[in-house]
Amino acid sequence: MVDFSHITDSRAQMVDITEKGDVTREATAKGRIYLRKETLLAIQEGAVIKGNVLATARIAATLAVKDTPRIIPMCHQIPIGAIEVEFSEDVSWIEATVRVKTVGKTGVEMEALTGVSVALLTIWDMVKSAEKDSGGQYPVTRIEGICVMEKKKGAGNRQ
C-alpha cells in the first residue's frame, strides 16, 4: 500500500514540518515546448510581436517559483535562496530548465516544476498567433516531458 503524507483519514492536509531542521535543498526540473520552425526562427531573431519571448518566460518562471504555495494548495511557503532559468533550443523545440535552491524544512521540486510549466506556457502564449493553423488549431505546438531531473538535500546528498 502506498503511504501519502498529505492525506490523513481521507482528508487532504498540509504536512507538519515544524519539527524538521533547516537543510540546504535544491531541485532542477525541465520540459520542452515544440513549435513550428518559423516560430523558432522568429524567437531567435527577436521578431515576435509581443516582445522578447525568452526574457519574458524567464521572468514568468521566476514569479511562478515564488508563487508556488499560492498555486499548489498543500505546498509550504519556503524561503527561496536562488532561481536559475535556462533555455536551450533545437530545430523543433525549446527546452526550459529551472533550478531552485533554499535552506529550509522541505524540498523545492514543486517550485522547480511550477517554474518550468509557467515558462513553457508563457512561450506558448507569446507565439500562439504564429502557431495556429487556418482552423485556429495547434497541430505542432505541444508541451512535453516536464520532470524533476535532480533533487539534492544537505551537503550534496541526493534525496
- In percent, the amount of the chain with pLDDT more than 70 equals 91
**Paired residues of 25 in beta bridges:** 102, 153
Does residue 7 surpass a pLDDT of 60?
no
Does residue 126 surpass a pLDDT of 50?
yes
| Of 3, 22, 67, 125, catalytic | 125
C-alpha cell at 25: 535543498
Q: Per-residue pLDDT tens for 83-113?
A: 999 999 999 999 999 999 999 999 999 999 9
pLDDT of residue 8: 60
Domains and CATH numbers, the chain: 21-153 (3.30.70.640)
3 in catalytic set = no
What DSSP character marks residue 139?
S
- Residue 127's contacts (CB-CB under 8 Å, 6 or more residues apart) are 35, 39, 42, 43, 48, 50, 53
Assign 147 to helix, strand or coil.
strand
Backbone angles phi, psi at 14, to 5 degrees: -75, 135
pLDDT band (50, 70, 90) for residue 156: very low
What is the average per-residue pLDDT within 121-129? 98
- Higher pLDDT: 10 or 99? It is 99
Q: Per-residue pLDDT tens for 137-153?
A: 999 999 999 999 999 99
How much is the mean pLDDT over the chain? 92
**Paired residues of 94 in beta bridges:** 33, 89
Q: In angstroms, how far apart are the furthest CA atoms of the chain?
A: 58
